[in-house]
Chains A and B, each alone.
Chain A
Amino acid sequence: MNKIASMDTILNLFRLFFLIIVFFSVVSLARAFIVEKIDLFEIESKLLNYRIAFSDKISYVDSDTGRTYVGIIDLAKFTSDDFAKNLLNSIYYGKINSEASAKIVLKDLDANQGYDVFYEKFYNKELYDEKKVLVEAKLTGAGAAKRLDTSFYVLIKDKDYFRRGMLNVEAILPNR
Chain B
Amino acid sequence: MKKRGTVTLRQTLIHLGMLALVAFVFYLLTSYVNSIRQNADFEMLFFSRDLALLSNSIYSSPGNVEYIYSMDNKPLSIFKIEFKQLSTLDDKSVVKVEYGGTSKSYPFAKSSPNNDIYIISAPKSIKFDKKGDNLAITKNE
Contact = CB atoms under 8 A, between A and B. Distances in A.
Interface stretch (B59-67, B69-77, B95-103, B119-127): B59-67
Contacts of A99: 92, 107, 109
Contact of A54 (B42, B45, B62): B62
Nearest to A35: B42
A51 B59 CA distance: 8
Contact of B28 (A23, A68, A95, A100): A23
Contacts of A70: 62
A38 interface: yes
B30 to A, nearest CB: 10
Interface in B108-122: 109-113
Interface string A15-38: 110010001001100100011101
A93 B53 contact: no
B32 A30 contact: yes
Contacts of A90: 111-112, 133
B140 interface: no
B25 A19 contact: yes
A54 B92 contact: no
B128 to A, nearest CB: 15
Given A12-B14, A56-B62, A67-B63, A27 B91 contact: no
A112 to B, nearest CB: 31
B45 A38 contact: yes
Interface residues of A, number: 37
Nearest to B57: A47
A26 B29 contact: yes
For B45, B60, B107, the residue with the greatest tally of chain A CB atoms inside 10 Å of its CB is B60
Contacts of A15: 18
Contacts of A47: 53, 56-57, 60
A93 B18 contact: no
20 contacts: A19-B21, A23-B25, A30-B36, A34-B41, A34-B42, A40-B53, A44-B53, A44-B56, A47-B60, A51-B109, A54-B61, A67-B62, A90-B112, A92-B110, A92-B113, A94-B86, A94-B91, A94-B93, A99-B107, A99-B109
Interface of A: 8, 12, 15-16, 19, 23, 26-27, 30, 34-36, 38, 40, 43-44, 47-48, 50-51, 54-56, 59, 67-68, 70, 89-96, 99-100
